[in-house]
Amino acid sequence: MRIGILANRESWYFRDLQRAAAAVAAVKEVVELSFTSLSAALTPTPTFASRERADLCPFDVVLVRTMPAGSLEQIVFRMNVLHRIAQHQTRVVNSPRCLEMAIDKYLALAELQAAGLPVPRTYTSQTWERAMDDFESLGCDVVVKPIFGSEGRGIVRVTDEDHAWRLFKSLTQLGQVIYQQEYIEHGGADVRLLSIDGQLHAIRRVNQRDWRTNVQRGARAEPTQASPEMRAMAATAVAAMNAHMLAVDFLTDPQGRTYVVEVNAVPGWRALSRTLEIDIAKQVVMSLINSQAH
């Protein structure tokens, strides 16, 4: 098997996958590919290239491990290239459609709700006036998130009307969509389930100093046993997103109600692998080989 990985060469995840693949005889090659250098040629035989390789289609699978920022045109072109690569019999993981849904927090949550999963009340708007009405509807205690974003960056909790007005006005002037969720009291902890081709791993992330539970924000990760309810909900989320790999984040409120808050189709596993003492990178590589065989 030949694996192309869309990643930053300096990425810990690329190095971890490279290490794991080196111990698997079935893997003949692992190559880092640059998202920002993707190109395409509409010739009698269409080709897709990056600066590392003049033809991407000989790879058996292209694994997406990053989604760098770019203009609307650049993002649309990159996703179109992934779609075309997949149509030329090179598997893309996760699929381009899965990536498109998961990158957009509004679309992802809408898909999860349509699949019957409980999600927090969430309002998405384009004007500060409508956002202020939504802020009141959500009880004036909300979490405002970038509609595209990850790892807890750019997420703020807003409980003050004046602060909300200033924030929403600023976001509107920047041409950004305003995405706000009701704040779910969660006691400083959440549960993340990572699904790799149907195999589930769970950690509990705890942060007593900050309501944000991202490890990058100082939370500690600890092993946990996910409830049957969470495992079933994670399986539903994976099916709804048609994902090979997916991280699903859960919050449980004081009344015991569990919500799916977010999903991530380019999930990290550094904290999870360390906490559970499992070689997640090897599992990822083996899952690609096994799924290719079927």
- Residue 42 in any domain: the answer is yes
Q: How many CA atoms lie within 13 A of 272 on its CB side?
A: 23
The answer to whether residues 110 and 198 belong to one domain is yes
Q: What integer pLDDT is reported at residue 214 of this predicted model? A: 84
130 and 111 within one domain = no
Concatenating the DSSP letter of every residue in 193-214 gives EEEETTEEEEEEEE-SS-S---
Q: Is 143 among the domain residues? A: yes
pLDDT of the residue at 151: 60
Is the domain of 210 the same as that of 248?
A: yes
Residues 192, 158 share a domain: no
Residue 52: what pLDDT? Answer: 84
What pLDDT does residue 121 have? 97
CATH number at residue 106: 3.30.470.20
**At 70, phi and psi to the nearest 5?**
-175, 175
- 223 shares a domain with 272: yes
SS3 185: coil
Both tokens of residue 132?
């202020």
What is the predicted pLDDT for the residue at 293?
A: 64
Q: Which pLDDT score is estimated for 215?
A: 86
Tens of pLDDT along the chain (294 residues) come to 999 999 987 899 999 999 999 999 999 999 999 999 999 999 998 899 998 888 898 999 999 998 888 888 999 999 999 999 999 989 999 999 999 999 999 999 999 999 999 999 999 999 999 999 999 999 999 999 999 866 667 899 999 999 999 999 999 999 999 999 999 999 999 999 999 999 999 999 999 888 888 888 788 999 999 999 999 999 999 999 999 999 999 999 999 999 999 999 999 999 999 999 999 999 999 999 988 765
Domain with 65 in it:
2-93
Domain-located, residue 209: yes
- Both 217 and 271 in one domain: the answer is yes
Give the CA distances from residue 58 to residues 49, 53, 113, 145, in Å, rounded to whole numbers and listed in that order: 11, 10, 38, 39
- Give dist(CA 280, CA 189) in Å, integer: 23
65's CB contacts (< 8 A; 6+ apart) are 5, 6, 7, 11, 13, 14, 17, 266
What is the maximal distance between C-alpha atoms in the chain? 62
Task: Give me the number of domains the chain comprises.
Answer: 3
The reply to whether 284 falls in a domain is no
pLDDT at residue number 152: 61
Percent composition of the chain: helix, strand, coil (DSSP 3-state, to 5): 35, 25, 40
